Structure 1
Amino acid sequence: MQQINRLSLALLLAGLLLSGQVLAHGEPHAGQHSAAVIKEQKPWGIAGDREQVSRTIEIGMSDQMRFSPDQLEIKQGETIRFVHRNQGKVLHEFVLGTQKDLDAHAAMMAKFPGMQHDEPYMAHVGPGQSGEIIWTFNRAGDFDFACLIVGHYQAGMVGKIRVVAE
């Protein structure tokens, strides 16, 4: 029985690592991606190119566990440069996704709070720092963003994005 439990645990961990869910989270990256950005189509869009930025949107992050603004409307096809300003005294992050994806990621963060990840649709911003991501919203729909640091998401550090069809 104990051997089966060890095997199950090993398979679970291997599956998580291979799925890309457990990548990087401990140290703040100040919202910058050091390696070349891998462009992968997501339901909420794809990593954008700096030279194609349509506009810049500044997002404030606070220790009251809020984003400002927390509601955005974007036109399908726009490439947005998000500038995140952490006005607080603790690390915050900005992660784009669907509600389902954010819920799953938040659950994973609760189980493995020291996990590390760095994807083009997220920025980790240290206290008093700023970071950015560039994202192309090439699909219409309602999407979400959140700070998935344990306790922040649960306290309501979330926002909504409506991408309006061309």
Structure 2
Amino acid sequence: MKSIKALMLASTLALSGVAFAHGDEDHSEPSGPIRKEQKDWGIAGDARAAKRTLIFKMTDDMHFTPDRIQVKQGETVRISIKNDGKLMHEFVLGTKKELDEHAALMVKFPSMAHDEPYMAHVAPGKTGEIVWTFNRAGDFDFACLVADHYEAGMVGKVKVVASSSAKPSPP
């Protein structure tokens, strides 16, 4: 009976679009073509359009460095994320609401895989990359949604300034 329930749960999750990873694999390399889907915080960018690279470090003290950035509306940036820790970490762009919802799912399903262009799952000692176009002005967030990391405060802020008054943060 337990195996039938497990099979039903797996089928339900598969149909709902939730995927599961295999252990602590590095999911920083996209497995197929990047989906360009407009989100509140922007859209996947074309690497050739990126004029600057923002470099982030993640550590096991549950911090990003830097933890705040400012970009110009319409700017495409390459986001390079180095995991300087011994634990798996990730970098996920989004709104506070989206990150809260995803973090709750990660607590329930800690091995959930990520294959979205606004996410980088980065193994210890490795570097992940996101190319993103911030085409909407506003205040957005980024976080590590590995179970308990978000709750421990592994978060940051993105300010996307309307193109007429933007002063981008230094590379």
TM-score range normalised by the length of the shorter chain: 0.7 to 0.9
Which residue of structure 2 lines up, in the alignment, with residue 82 of structure 1? 79
For the pair 1:164 / 2:161, whether they are aligned, the reply is yes
Query: What TM-score does the superposition give when structure 1 sets the normalisation length?
Result: 0.87
Cα distance in 1 for residues equivalent to 2:110 and 2:118: 19
Matches within 5 A, 1:12-91: 14=12, 17-20=14-17, 22-25=18-21, 26-29=23-26, 31-91=28-88
Separation (CA, whole Å) in 1 of partners of 2:70 and 2:162: 11
Q: Structure 1 vs Structure 2: percent identity of aligned residues?
A: 59
Aligned mates of 1:56, 1:30 — CA distance in 2: 20
Q: Are the counterparts in 1 of residues 62 and 149 from structure 2 also a CA contact under 8 Å? A: yes
Would you say the 8 A contact 1:24–1:118 is kept in 2? no
Q: Which residue of 1 aligns with 2:108?
A: 111
Please report how far the alpha carbon of residue 30 of structure 1 lies from its aligned counterpart in structure 2 after TM superposition. Answer: 5.0
- 2:134 maps to 1:133: no
Aligned residues: 156
Write the deviation string for residues 66-91 of structure 1: whole angstroms up to 9, x where unpaired.
Answer: 00000000000000100001111111
The amino acid across from 1:83 in the alignment is S
Contact 2:43/2:135 (CA < 8 Å) preserved in 1?
A: yes
Secondary structure of 2:81's partner? strand
User: For structure 2, which runs of at least 5 residues remain unmatched after alignment?
Assistant: 164-171
Contact 1:29/1:123 (<8 A) preserved: no
Measure the CA separation in 2 of the matches of 1:122 and 1:82. Answer: 10
Give the TM-score, by structure 2 length: 0.84
User: Hey, what's the Cα distance between the residues in 2 that align with 1:24 and 1:95?
Assistant: 17
For the structure 1 residues 129 and 140, does the alpha-carbon distance in structure 2 shift closer, same or farther, using more than 3 Å as the test? same
For residue 79 of structure 1, give the secondary structure of its aligned residue in structure 2: strand
Assess, with a 3 A threshold, how the Cα gap between structure 1 residues 164 and 60 changes in structure 2: closer, same or farther: same
The answer to whether the Cα contact below 8 Å between 2:24 and 2:88 also exists between their aligned partners in 1 is: no
Counterparts of 2:81 and 2:71, CA distance in 1: 17
Whole-angstrom distance in 1 between the partners of 2:162 and 2:119 = 24
**Is the 8 Å Cα contact of residues 30 and 130 (structure 1) preserved in structure 2?**
no
Query: Is residue 102 of structure 1 aligned with residue 111 of structure 2?
Result: no
SS class of match (2:103): helix
Aligned to 1:145: 142
- What's the offset of the Cα at 1:117? 2.1
Q: Which amino acid aligns with 2:19?
A: L
In the alignment, residue 35 of structure 1 is paired with which amino acid? G
Using the alignment, how far apart are the partners of 1:119 and 1:24 within structure 2? 13
